[in-house]
A and B are shown apart, each in its own frame.
Chain A
Amino acid sequence: MRLRCEVNGESREVDDVWPGESLLYVLRERMGLPGSKNACEQGECGSCTVYLDGVPVCSCLVAAGQAEGHEVTTVEGLAEGEQLDPVQQAFVEKGAVQCGFCTPGLIVATHDLLERRERPSDPEIREALAGNLCRCTGYEKILDAVRLAADRKAVS
């Protein structure tokens, strides 16, 4: 099929898409957006999290055809030019990144949390990020980053 959707604010159109392939595959292999990561391909790890019409989803579980005519935002679409989103900035500063493979999914999931909750409590953060596995950091610095990003967004 020819797939048309809006990705990171741009209209995109790709041909020869098999409707059953995943949105993750389309983004990575057909649109040159490999920021979203494939680590389990069955919705267990959260590394491929993107926004679909403003709702965070595991893009490995979304069929390409389901994205037709919809809006997608990936980790590549969160910074404004050189200006990092406060969530991205906080992850760098707080040491919440190690190997970085789970990071794109965590950035999107955290971004979504802070859109919904200005000052999430620690249990709310843990709940919101429960679907994002990380094998390197042990999560504590991720919590620090979320709190820092929340503080900065609340002030700005």
Chain B
Amino acid sequence: MSVGQPVVRVEGRRKVTGQARYTADIAEDGLVHAVSVGASVASGRITAMDTSAAHDAGGVLAIVTHHNAPRTHPVPGREVSGPAGDTIPILQDDRVYYAEQPVAVVVAHTLEQARYAASLVRVSYALEPAVATMYQRLGEAFESRYARPVVVGDVDSGFAQADVVVETTCHLQMQHQHPMELIAMTAHWSGDELTVRASTQSVGVLRAGIAIAFGLRPEQVRVTSEFLGGGFGGKASLWWPTITATMAARVTGRPVRLVVSRAQMVAASGHRARSQQRVRLGARRDGRLTAIDYDTITETSAWYDTPPPSITSITPIPYRSPAIRAIPRFVKVNTQSPTPMRSPHEGQGLVAIESAMDELAERTGLDPLELRRRNYADREPWTGKPWSSNGLLECYDLGARRFGWSRRDPKPRSMRQGGLLIGWGMSTAFRLAESRPASARAVLHADGTVLVQMGTQDIGTGTYTIIGQVAADAVGVTVDRVTAEIADTDLPPAPPSIGSFTAQTVSGTVTNAGNALRDKVINVAVADEQSPLYGAAPEQVIVHNGRMRLRDDPARGETYAELLRRNGLPAVDAIGQHNPPGIGEGTHGRYAFGVDFAEVRVDPSLGTVRVTRYVKVIEAGKIINPRTTRSQVIGGVTFGIGQALTEVSEMDTQHARIANASFWGYHVPVNADVPAIDAQFVEVDDPHVPQGVKGLGELCTIGAAPAIVNAVAHATGIRVRELPITADKLLG
């Protein structure tokens, strides 16, 4: 079996030698460069534009504004199969909804020419009042049809039965994905056919969106993305760089590359929305929950009523309770639309829920881990469905043992070393474990190699590698015989690389394609009079290392290559489909589980927090590749350290502009911020998900921020309710 082995990343060699080609690396004949001019205000109307100086600058080919841009059709966020992106008309009218919204696109022969000319575009605005944060309009919070409340049982009677009630309100700031690769697009028209190279987590969503916007049939649009330099949710939807690059290419008749700057990244796609989360927990004296009441207010953008995937649209409550009420509400602000950032839902919601659980542990005198064990949900709490599998209790056991949790002194500020306060905190982690419909083609060549074609993406986590592993097992060859072609809308379609879907989707789809291919070739063999397998029952034939043989007579058989060559077949191919239940549908609750244990050291005189020890245990069913996955988990925890301690996009509340749109101002964790992270797996069999694979791309990060919040509270006695935990919140 190849699945389960620590196979080395197949594209690693190309990446360490600089040979992997990302969108902005690919040269084309006649390629010209586009630079976007962003609005300098966050709300208002364009009253005048002067592009004459820009036109006169050297090398300029075109300046696209709302006066001359190709007309586009609105793209409703929910009509393409991904989270909503830009649904406002781009360069279609004089309205400005957020700072850095594109108001012009300058195209020139070289990037430097385009940049210089862009700096010469003069725009005048009639300013209108801008809402910078939801705190300016909390009274206008509204419920949305896209994020329905969850109500289980009767919360009021649940609280009436409670001996202890805990109430807490947490505030999460705006944060940005800031993948290392800047968003880049190259658009190339030839006649009415359009090809877009894109840094995208979904070639399919881009194709659907472009087709709607430009009035094309989907077949007229091809989108590819061979290598992607990270995404974390920010590249999953149709955002304006795709639209503006396509327009620029249409207007100039040239292939156009548009790469947004790091400063523009805060407006070129969505972000993790600011949120306010109020949690009330009711419990018996023994810690058993009687009621959970959970109200959230999340920011959404100013122009449309499709809110971001909200914290409570997928319930972030992993505990049993007879009564649950979760009501999401929204406030419109003048920012780009929020979008998922590793991870929405549980990744944001558990910060508040798990912080409240720790307060409940203090009030009931229970160990935080014991409190969580007592409230273990043996069924999906909001539907009552059985879990497809659930290894959470094993995760608790293994994590506590490896961390040494039993040695924790529950008293805050009780653990010290030198002048530093030591805190230990933990959090439950869980995340829906789903996949989406997809198809793949598996091709066996006469040399015995296998090609898998599937329109999925590799966002850096290792899709190329796991496709090879899954296909190798299904077809019956070694993994080095398999190559994958992905991220191209000419290939069989697959869902966006979001929602931790990819590993499970690949497992289901590629297994089916590989099995179909193997069966097809076996059928050729048993019908071939010259084959040693002639006349055998197909189900009696097994394949190992590319050789078909009888199950009971290993000597009787031949290789795939021998069969194909003798029959003059250059290749045999087969399609495999994957049709899982819809999200949340089906007979079982499909989730992956985990636990985070964090140790922090806080300098009480400086307010600085360092994470010094970390254990994360994950139960995500079958782990396809422990080498790539362990690295993924460590990176995911690091992403959560950023969420907890360092990352915030600072909003200038006067002008509704983000004030720190750069790596000097937006602090992603650096090398010295991250301790050794002990990443462990509990593997369980799950017959209800394809090949027992659940997926964990987001689970890696979920749990980290609340564990650190709880560790800081244990270290200092200060429960910080506003993330990130910067030094000022621990001083004075």
Q: Do A and B come from one complex?
A: yes
B16 touches A97 (CB 8 A): yes
The one of A28, A74, A100, A135 that contacts B178, using a Cβ cutoff of 8 Å:
A135
The verdict on A102 contacting chain B, using a C-beta distance below 8 Å, is yes
Please name all residues of chain B whose beta carbon is closer than 8 Å to the beta carbon of A84 when the two chains form the complex: 13, 16-17
Bound complex: CA of A44 vs CA of B667, how far in Å? 11
A32 touches B27 (CB 8 A): yes
A129 touches B180 (CB 8 A): no
Residue among B631, B663, B674 with max Cβ neighbours from chain A (10 Å):
B631
Please name all residues of chain B whose beta carbon is closer than 8 Å to the beta carbon of A88 when the two chains form the complex: 13, 16-17
A135-B112 contact in complex given A44-B662, A97-B15, C-beta closer than 8 Å: no
A129-B17 contact in complex given A92-B9, A99-B179, A135-B639, C-beta closer than 8 Å: no
Please name all residues of chain B whose beta carbon is closer than 8 Å to the beta carbon of A40 when the two chains form the complex: 262, 662-663
* Cβ distance A46 to chain B, nearest Cβ, rounded Å: 10
Stretch at the interface among B49-57, B227-235, B321-329, B721-729: B227-235
A135 touches B631 (CB 8 A): no
Bound complex: CA of A138 vs CA of B232, how far in Å? 14
B676 touches A140 (CB 8 A): yes
A133 touches B674 (CB 8 A): no
Stretch at the interface among B18-26, B216-224, B400-408: B18-26
A47-B677 contact in complex given A37-B229, A130-B672, A136-B230, C-beta closer than 8 Å: no
* Cβ distance B460 to chain A, nearest Cβ, rounded Å: 3
Bound complex: CA of A30 vs CA of B8, how far in Å? 33
The verdict on B654 contacting chain A, using a C-beta distance below 8 Å, is no
The verdict on B627 contacting chain A, using a C-beta distance below 8 Å, is yes
Bound complex: CA of A123 vs CA of B623, how far in Å? 32
Please name all residues of chain B whose beta carbon is closer than 8 Å to the beta carbon of A42 when the two chains form the complex: 262, 662, 664
Please name all residues of chain A whose beta carbon is closer than 8 Å to the beta carbon of B26 when the two chains form the complex: 34
Bound complex: CA of A92 vs CA of B110, how far in Å? 35
Closest chain A residue, CB of each to CB of B262: A40
Bound complex: CA of A98 vs CA of B21, how far in Å? 14
The one of B13, B230, B630 that contacts A101, using a Cβ cutoff of 8 Å:
B230
Closest chain A residue, CB of each to CB of B22: A101
* Cβ distance A84 to chain B, nearest Cβ, rounded Å: 7
The verdict on B261 contacting chain A, using a C-beta distance below 8 Å, is yes
The verdict on A41 contacting chain B, using a C-beta distance below 8 Å, is yes
The verdict on B298 contacting chain A, using a C-beta distance below 8 Å, is no
The verdict on B253 contacting chain A, using a C-beta distance below 8 Å, is no
Please name all residues of chain A whose beta carbon is closer than 8 Å to the beta carbon of B672 when the two chains form the complex: 126-127, 130
Bound complex: CA of A126 vs CA of B662, how far in Å? 22
B634 touches A141 (CB 8 A): yes
B17 touches A41 (CB 8 A): no
The one of B8, B18, B180, B261 that contacts A33, using a Cβ cutoff of 8 Å:
B18
Bound complex: CA of A141 vs CA of B22, how far in Å? 23
The one of A21, A28, A78 that contacts B112, using a Cβ cutoff of 8 Å:
A21
Bound complex: CA of A125 vs CA of B674, how far in Å? 13
The verdict on A72 contacting chain B, using a C-beta distance below 8 Å, is no
The verdict on B182 contacting chain A, using a C-beta distance below 8 Å, is yes
B262 touches A101 (CB 8 A): no
Please name all residues of chain A whose beta carbon is closer than 8 Å to the beta carbon of B16 when the two chains form the complex: 75, 84, 87-89, 91-92, 97, 100, 103-104, 107
B262 touches A39 (CB 8 A): yes
Please name all residues of chain A whose beta carbon is closer than 8 Å to the beta carbon of B662 when the two chains form the complex: 40, 42, 44
For B90-114 the 0/1 string (1 means CB < 8 A from A) is 0000000000000000000011100
Task: Give the dominant DSSP class at B's interface.
Answer: loop
Please name all residues of chain B whose beta carbon is closer than 8 Å to the beta carbon of A18 when the two chains form the complex: 112
A44 touches B181 (CB 8 A): no
Which residues of chain B (631-660) have a CB below 8 Å from chain A? 631-632, 634-639
A138 touches B638 (CB 8 A): yes
B635 touches A137 (CB 8 A): yes
A138 touches B637 (CB 8 A): yes
B180 touches A102 (CB 8 A): yes
A100 touches B663 (CB 8 A): no
Bound complex: CA of A37 vs CA of B181, how far in Å? 8
The verdict on B459 contacting chain A, using a C-beta distance below 8 Å, is yes
Please name all residues of chain B whose beta carbon is closer than 8 Å to the beta carbon of A134 when the two chains form the complex: 180, 635
Residue among A18, A38, A78, A125 with max Cβ neighbours from chain B (10 Å):
A38
Bound complex: CA of A134 vs CA of B24, how far in Å? 19
Bound complex: CA of A38 vs CA of B181, how far in Å? 8
For A14-42 the 0/1 string (1 means CB < 8 A from B) is 00001011000100110011111111111
The one of B229, B664, B669 that contacts A100, using a Cβ cutoff of 8 Å:
B229
Which residues of chain B (416-442) have a CB below 8 Å from chain A? none
B180 touches A39 (CB 8 A): yes
Please name all residues of chain A whose beta carbon is closer than 8 Å to the beta carbon of B9 when the two chains form the complex: 92, 95, 97
The verdict on B471 contacting chain A, using a C-beta distance below 8 Å, is no
A91-B668 contact in complex given A40-B663, A100-B20, A137-B634, C-beta closer than 8 Å: no
Please name all residues of chain A whose beta carbon is closer than 8 Å to the beta carbon of B111 when the two chains form the complex: 25, 29
Bound complex: CA of A21 vs CA of B22, how far in Å? 22
Please name all residues of chain B whose beta carbon is closer than 8 Å to the beta carbon of A93 when the two chains form the complex: 8
Closest chain B residue, CB of each to CB of A108: B18
B631 touches A137 (CB 8 A): yes
A133-B261 contact in complex given A97-B15, A100-B15, C-beta closer than 8 Å: no
B631 touches A25 (CB 8 A): no
* Cβ distance B649 to chain A, nearest Cβ, rounded Å: 15
Please name all residues of chain B whose beta carbon is closer than 8 Å to the beta carbon of A136 when the two chains form the complex: 180, 230, 460-461, 632, 635
A98 touches B460 (CB 8 A): yes
Residue among B16, B24, B179, B262 with max Cβ neighbours from chain A (10 Å):
B16
A99-B112 contact in complex given A76-B17, A141-B634, C-beta closer than 8 Å: no
The verdict on B555 contacting chain A, using a C-beta distance below 8 Å, is no
Please name all residues of chain B whose beta carbon is closer than 8 Å to the beta carbon of A38 when the two chains form the complex: 24, 182, 259
B230 touches A95 (CB 8 A): no
* Cβ distance A10 to chain B, nearest Cβ, rounded Å: 15
Which residues of chain A (50-93) have a CB below 8 Å from chain B? 74-76, 78-79, 84, 87-89, 91-93
Please name all residues of chain A whose beta carbon is closer than 8 Å to the beta carbon of B178 when the two chains form the complex: 135
A99 touches B229 (CB 8 A): yes
Q: Which residues of B contact A (CB under 8 A)?
A: 8-9, 11-22, 24-27, 110-112, 178-182, 227-230, 232, 259, 261-262, 459-462, 627-628, 630-632, 634-639, 662-664, 668-672, 674, 676-677
Q: 14 other contacts beyond A138-B639, A143-B671, with CB at 8 A cut-off?
A: A25-B112, A39-B180, A39-B229, A40-B662, A40-B663, A45-B180, A87-B16, A88-B16, A92-B13, A97-B15, A104-B18, A133-B663, A138-B631, A140-B677
A–B complex contacts, Cβ < 8 Å, 9 sampled: A21-B112, A32-B27, A42-B662, A87-B16, A95-B9, A104-B16, A104-B18, A136-B180, A139-B670
